């Protein structure tokens, strides 16, 4: 048999009251799950939307000023940055969501996440709009410290959340090296 109330192997799914859940508890778990997914969607939006705004405001500078800068041979192609940042922002969102699920009162972890996210979103305007690679490099150094501290706090609450921050830390480390090289190779900016 297959269908509602049956597993694929033919066993009947026990009613909620037989697995230790009252109908109300079963409904409460469903609502909790919906709420958790809503919070994740909200976190993703709060993480991604500012980055989309920043990307839109810096697009012209990337197409003009940035193209004329001397860059190292290991500079990734411009098309790669969007997909990489999207994956990183999604991983960061899941990380903060896991901390929230584990410890909703982890206020310092959430504050630090917000600080590092703000620093992250300030980097592109500093580098591309203000055309200040030196300032952007200093900002990246502070961002790196904030990410490290955030990852540490996340690890405290959820090892998985802490690990999800590591690719971001790695990419920002790489971006810092690239930023530094561009700054030093273009002394006139």
Domain at 130, CATH number: 1.20.1260.100
The confidence band for 28, taking pLDDT boundaries of 50, 70 and 90, is: confident
Distance CA 53, CA 32 (A): 32
Question: Is it the case that residue 173 has pLDDT exceeding 90?
Answer: yes
Where on the phi/psi map is residue 7: left (φ > 0), alpha (ψ -120 to 50), or beta? beta
Q: What is the pLDDT of residues 56-107, one digit of tens each?
A: 999 988 889 999 999 999 999 999 999 999 999 999 999 999 999 999 899 9
Distance CA 186, CA 48 (A): 31
**Residue 3 covered by a domain:** no
Distance CA 113, CA 150 (A): 6
Give residue 52's pLDDT: 95
140-161 average pLDDT score = 98
Domain coverage including residue 110 = 25-185
Give residue 3's pLDDT: 46
**Residue 111 covered by a domain:** yes
Give residue 62's pLDDT: 87
Question: Is it the case that residue 128 has pLDDT exceeding 70?
Answer: yes
The confidence band for 2, taking pLDDT boundaries of 50, 70 and 90, is: very low
> Collapsing DSSP states into helix, strand and coil, what is residue 77?
coil
18 vs 146 pLDDT, higher one: 146
Q: Is 62 within 8 Å of 78 (Cβ atoms)?
A: yes
Which residues are CB-neighbours of 55 under 8 A, at least 6 positions away?
82, 124
Give burial (CB, 10 Å; 0-12/13-18/19+) of 158: buried
Helix ranges (DSSP H) in 103-165: 107-124, 133-157, 159-164
**Residue 151 covered by a domain:** yes
**Residue 9 covered by a domain:** no
The mean pLDDT of the chain is 90
**Residue 20 covered by a domain:** no
**Residue 13 covered by a domain:** no
Query: pTM for the whole thing?
Result: 0.83
Name 6's bridge partners: 12
Task: Give how many domains the chain has, as a whole number.
Answer: 1
Q: Is 178 within 8 Å of 75 (Cβ atoms)?
A: yes
**Residue 10 covered by a domain:** no
**Residue 17 covered by a domain:** no
């Amino acid at each position: 048999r297959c269908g509602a109330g049956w597993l694929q192997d033919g066993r009947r799914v026990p009613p909620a009251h037989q697995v230790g859940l009252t109908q109300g508890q079963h409904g409460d778990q469903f609502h909790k799950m919906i709420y958790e997914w809503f919070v994740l969607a909200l976190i993703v939006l709060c993480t991604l939307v500012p980055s989309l705004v920043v990307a839109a405001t810096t697009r012209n500078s990337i197409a003009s000023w940035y193209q004329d800068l001397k860059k190292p041979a290991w500079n990734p192609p411009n098309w790669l940055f969007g997909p990489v940042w999207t994956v990183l922002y999604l991983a960061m969102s899941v990380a903060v969501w896991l901390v929230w699920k584990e410890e909703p009162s982890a206020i310092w972890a959430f504050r630090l996440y917000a600080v590092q996210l703000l620093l992250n979103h300030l980097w592109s305007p500093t580098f591309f709009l203000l055309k200040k690679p030196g300032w952007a490099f200093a900002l990246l150094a502070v961002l790196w410290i904030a990410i490290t501290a955030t990852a540490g706090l996340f690890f405290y609450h959820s090892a998985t959340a802490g690990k999800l921050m590591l690719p971001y830390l790695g990419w920002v480390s790489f971006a810092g090296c690239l930023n530094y090289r561009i700054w030093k190779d273009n002394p006139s900016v």
